Structure formats: structure tokens, C-alpha cells
Structure 1
Amino acid sequence: MEEINEKYIAINWNEIEDMIDKLTWEKLTEQFWLDTRIPLSNDLDDWRMLTQKERDMIGKVFGGLTLLDTLQSQDGVDVIRSDVRTQHEEAVLNNIQFMESVHAKSYSSIFSTLNTKSEIEEIFAWTNANPRLQWKANRINEIYQNGTALQKKAASVMLETFLFYSGFFAPLWYLGNNKLANVAEIIKLIIRDESVHGTYIGYKFQIGYNQLPSEEQEVLKNWIFQNIYELYTNESKYVEELYDGLGWSEKVKVFIRYNANKALQNLGFDPLFPETAADVDPIVMNGISTGTSNHDFFSQVGNGYLLGSVEAMSDEDYIKWQ
């Protein structure tokens, strides 16, 4: 038999190096869900009552979210996996990667329920050609491909906790106005996942960041704030493209500034913008904080999520989840 020079180590969940890995795994598996469990066809009556301008906006919103979740599932997790500290962390990242694929597929389920084949083709053509959308996807992917390990984690948190939220605003607003409840249920389930993803990866970022010399910390911190600001500048223009026709742009900008601050908080930094939860449209905040409906009687996938719990990672935060 050929001599083996290196041992392959079996993962042992009875010996945990970082309890946050175990608690995150348990949280993510507890809230597992699939889009096929949500009765989207029940929203067809609401959909038919919307104006063409509203339908066009919603299609573009979900097209943009599909692109970003595709980026996260195909590249975002892979580039972080190469720098894991524990085997359990890699297992958590495997779960995160799968759920990002579920998120991306969920938008197609929404399209197939609400839109015609030609409308779906138009949505994806717009998505794959829109300059603002492509700019932010390429900006994040450039960091994924060429950044340091900590820059990649920071970019992932920026995407998970900040850039998705310009798209999340619309379904949450409709939910608060008693429309498209099942579409919004999917968005709330996605938000609940992204909360854990962004907080967990932010925690792993903070471990590495705190081990850097102070000079390197300052350089990385400045880089992150610069990227947040530039991404926000682009995102503001993207928001205007989506929402100006409905007069919503300024409300959405408040929401994304609030979530940019949340991304910074997950990374362990102070806010960049003055907005707090009190500044966000209360209809949208209520849509996030209200418990999700439980469409599957035999599971608890619809047990709700509170945006206010997206804080910098601590053991206490995870204990509260249990």
C-alpha cells in the first residue's frame, strides 16, 4: 500500500473550536425553507391590480436581486472558503452557499407565477445590461477575485447587509399595504437568512481584523468606508432608476443608508450615515419585524425575523436566537 504522508481529518462536531460555528449551523438549519412551500399564485389578484409602472419596477427589482444572489452563490462563498479557520466554519459556508442558490431560484419562481415568458425575457435582458447593476456586481466581484481575505469578507457583508436592500424595499412596502403577501413572505425569509449570513461573516472578519497591527487596521478601515461610500453613490442612482417613477426614491435611499450602517456594524465599525431605524418608512420596518407566516404546518420555517437583531456578532446574540 502506498504510504500516506498527510492525514485527512474527519470533522468532529463533538469538539468545537468556535461555538459560533455550531450555533450558526443550528440556526441556519432550523430556519431552512424552499420557495416551493410558498403559495405565490395567491398573489395573482393583487398583481393584476397594480399599474404597469409598478409591475415594471417589481420585475426590475427582482431581476437585480437575482443577479446579486447569483454572484453570491457562484463566487462569494467560494472565495471566503479558502480562508476558513475551522472545519465547522467550512460546513457553515456550505450551507450559506446552498441557500444563496435557493434565494436566486426563488425570484424565478416569482417570475414564473406573475410574468409572461416574454416579460421574463425582458427582465433578464434588462438585468444583464443595466450599467448601475452591472457596476456594483463587478465592483464586488473584483474584490472577490483580487482582494485580501479580509477584504473579501468585508465585500460579502456589504453585499448581504447593504446592497440587497434597495430591492427588498418594494415587497416590504406592498406587504405593509396588504398586497403581495406571499411574494413578501419569500423576501422576509431571504432577509432572515441574510441577517445570519452577514452577521456570521462579519464576526469572522472581526477576528482577523483584530489580529492586524494598528496601522494595517486603519488602512483596511479606510478602504471599507471608501467602498461603502462609492457603492452608496452608485446605489443612489440605481434607486432613482427603479423608483423615481413612483416617487419612492428618497424613502428607499433612507432605507439603504440605514442598512449600509448595519453592514458597518456587522464589521465592527461605527455608522457612516446619520439614519437610524426611526428614520426608515415605518411600513417597511413593520414588514420586516412582523413574524413571517407559517405556510408549512409541519415546520417552523416561518418563525419571523427582526431586523433590529442584526448587530455586531457576540455570543449573547446567538444565545438569544436559540
Structure 2
Amino acid sequence: MTENYIAINWNEIEDQVDKATWEKLTEQFWLDTRIPLSNDLDDWRQMSSDEHYLVGHVFGGLTLLDTLQSQDGMSSLKEQTRTQHEEAVLNNIEFMESVHAKSYSSIFETLNTPDEIDEIFNWTNQNEALQFKAQRINQVYQKGTALQKKIASVFLETFLFYSGFYTPLYYLGHNKLNNVAEIIKLILRDESVHGTYIGYKFQLGFNELSDAEQDKLKMWMYDLLMELYANEEVYTHALYDQMGWSESVLTFIRYNANKALMNLGQDPLFPDGADDVNPIVMNGISTTTSNHDFFSQVGNGYRLGQVEVMEDEDYNYGLND
């Protein structure tokens, strides 16, 4: 006799964090089509060819990583879930990663010519350092344990994305490409929830391991982080040396690597703190630096209920809220 198929019951919640995260994610739902990107064209025309190259290629890299997360990352995590509600949350995350990936194409369509877009995607699909980090994370998704997959996902969401996020946050601090930055801030708001939720689920499983098993997994985790960081140095220098920003970007990356470890309940590795990061970029992380909510530029009709402004402490999304 076949086992009965079980309907999900949102009136009986095994883990309240699942419900809180679902509500947080659905509350902050958005689509790129409602952001007036064409308003940034005047800024774009005044920027140099080096700046055009940088913006296009960091967004190409982000597109690749969001594609990985939407096509392989969440599906691999759904193979081992603790609750039905967790799987529902991961479905939401999977969809929003696709929204993120599409958003970059909307930016390309607005700012770049068809030939430039082709060049960006050709570069994205062939760049060795970019391909290394995508393939290394996907290797864990395909062959890793349930806890290793969660580590890889948090490293991707809270660490590896940030070499790309630096650029739009920098320009936002200089009052350029503000509508592009609105999309990035929306993505950041999502990623802060994704990384801490999956980190929380990791901690539940990690705390069930023996001390010896924990030590072995921690060694694997830090080895993976250093492997990814070494590659990130290569990727960052290739993108940012022409602008003279590489060292500042690497500080930002190390800071976010520590954030990823903290999401996983582990000790930070690098000495870099918030005070070491370019203050213009740090200000961009907090949406309180903006004088309007995310949707004010497209009118109140788009608000799906009250959209909360992300406070500085929300960069580490509070799962106990």
C-alpha cells in the first residue's frame, strides 16, 4: 500500500522561524519591472568607458551566481529539509533568485547595446575566476552533505555576491545610478534573509553532531572559505585594478566573509570590521540612507502592504524577531 501524500498545514507550525521567514519574504516581494531604470541614463552617459565595463561585468558575474542559486542551489537544499514549511520557504527563495537574475538583464537592456550585452554574457560564461567559484559551489551542491550544501549556499549569498555589490553601492554613495541601486538594495534585503535563514537551518543540524564531527566539518568549512577567498582575490583584481578599487573591495569581501561565518554560528576569520569598509559603501547597505521607501519612485499603488525599511541591524536578519 502506498504511503499517503501529506498536505502542508500552515496552522500547525513545527518551527516558527519557517513561518516568520515566509512572512518576511512575502512582505518584501518585488519585481524589477516597476523600477524606472531609464532615469539613470543621464548618469550612464556621463560615465567613462572603464566605468561602463566595470558595471556591466560585475552584473554579469552576479547574473551567473543568481542563476546557479535558482537552478541548482535551492533544489539541492530541498533534498534534505526538516519541515514541509522549510521546503515552501526554499521555493520562495528559489523564485526570488530568478527575479534577481532577470533584474540584471533589465539593467543591461536599459544601459547597454545588444553587442555590449553579448560581450558581457560571453565574458561571464568564460571568465576562469568567475567560473571557478560557480563550479566550486555547484560541486558542493551536487556531491556534498546536507550541511555542506548549506555552508556553500550561505557563502554564496553572504560572501561571494559582494564583490559585485560593491560597485552599485559605491555609485549610490556618489548619487549615481540611483535606480539601479534601488534594485541592488532590494536584492540585498532578500539575500540578508536568505543567508541567515539557511544559516539557522545549518546550525540546527550542526548542533546535533558530535564534537568530533563538528570539528571535522568546521575544518572543511574554513578550508572552503579560504579556497574561495583566494579565487576572489584574483577575480577582484581582474575587475577593479583599472579603477584602483581592489584593496577596498577585498576589505568589503573579507567583512562579508565574516558575516557568512556568523550566519553559520561560527567565529569570524578575518580582522576586518565595519569600520574598515569604505563608509560610502557601508552607508549604501542600509536603506535608511535613502529618503524614500523602495517603491516611492513608482507610486504607492505598488505597495503590497506596508514595506519596512531595512535598518542597519537588519543586515543580519533577526530570525528571532
Normalising TM by the smaller chain, what interval?
over 0.9
The TM-score, its normalising length taken from structure 2, stands at 0.95
Tell me which stretches of 4 or more aligned residues in structure 1 moved more than 2 Å.
Answer: 290-296, 300-311, 317-320
Residue 5 of structure 1: how far off its partner (Å): 2.7
Q: Among 193, 197, 208, which residue is 2:194 paired with?
A: 197
2:220 matched to 1:230?
no
Partner in structure 2 of residue 169 of structure 1: 166
Residue 288 of structure 1: how far off its partner (Å): 1.1
2:119 matched to 1:122?
yes
Partner in structure 2 of residue 106 of structure 1: 103
Partner in structure 1 of residue 310 of structure 2: 305
Residue 280 of structure 1: how far off its partner (Å): 0.7
CA distance in structure 1 between the aligned counterparts of 2:170 and 2:37, rounded to whole angstroms: 17
* Number of residue pairs the alignment of both structures matches: 313
Partner in structure 1 of residue 47 of structure 2: 50
RMSD of aligned Cα (Å): 1.3
Alpha-carbon displacement from aligned partner over 1:54-109 (angstroms, at most 9, x marks no partner): 00011110000000000000000000001011110010000000000000000000
2:282 matched to 1:285?
yes
Residue 230 of structure 1: how far off its partner (Å): 1.0
Q: Among 244, 247, 267, which residue is 1:270 paired with?
A: 267
Q: Among 81, 86, 99, which residue is 2:83 paired with?
A: 86
CA distance in structure 1 between the aligned counterparts of 2:180 and 2:14, rounded to whole angstroms: 39
The TM-score, its normalising length taken from structure 1, stands at 0.95
CA distance in structure 2 between the aligned counterparts of 1:20 and 1:272, rounded to whole angstroms: 27
CA distance in structure 1 between the aligned counterparts of 2:182 and 2:131, rounded to whole angstroms: 27
Q: Which amino acid aligns with 2:319?
A: Y
Q: Among 217, 220, 241, which residue is 1:220 paired with?
A: 217
Q: Which amino acid aligns with 1:100?
A: E
Secondary structure class of the residue paired with 2:248: helix
CA distance in structure 1 between the aligned counterparts of 2:113 and 2:272, rounded to whole angstroms: 39
Percent sequence identity over matched residues?
A: 67
CA distance in structure 1 between the aligned counterparts of 2:85 and 2:259, rounded to whole angstroms: 26
Q: Among 63, 66, 80, which residue is 2:63 paired with?
A: 66
2:158 matched to 1:158?
no
CA distance in structure 1 between the aligned counterparts of 2:101 and 2:287, rounded to whole angstroms: 23
Residue 309 of structure 1: how far off its partner (Å): 3.0
Residue 278 of structure 1: how far off its partner (Å): 1.0
Q: Is the 8 A contact 1:188 1:305 kept in 2?
A: no
CA distance in structure 2 between the aligned counterparts of 1:241 and 1:184, rounded to whole angstroms: 23
Residue 307 of structure 1: how far off its partner (Å): 5.2
Q: Is the 8 A contact 2:72 2:141 kept in 1?
A: yes
Residue 290 of structure 1: how far off its partner (Å): 2.6
CA distance in structure 2 between the aligned counterparts of 1:209 and 1:117, rounded to whole angstroms: 47
Secondary structure class of the residue paired with 1:318: coil
Q: Which amino acid aligns with 1:177?
A: H
Partner in structure 2 of residue 254 of structure 1: 251
Q: Is the 8 A contact 1:288 1:305 kept in 2?
A: no
CA distance in structure 1 between the aligned counterparts of 2:278 and 2:101, rounded to whole angstroms: 26
CA distance in structure 2 between the aligned counterparts of 1:290 and 1:26, rounded to whole angstroms: 20
Q: Is the 8 A contact 1:258 1:273 kept in 2?
A: yes
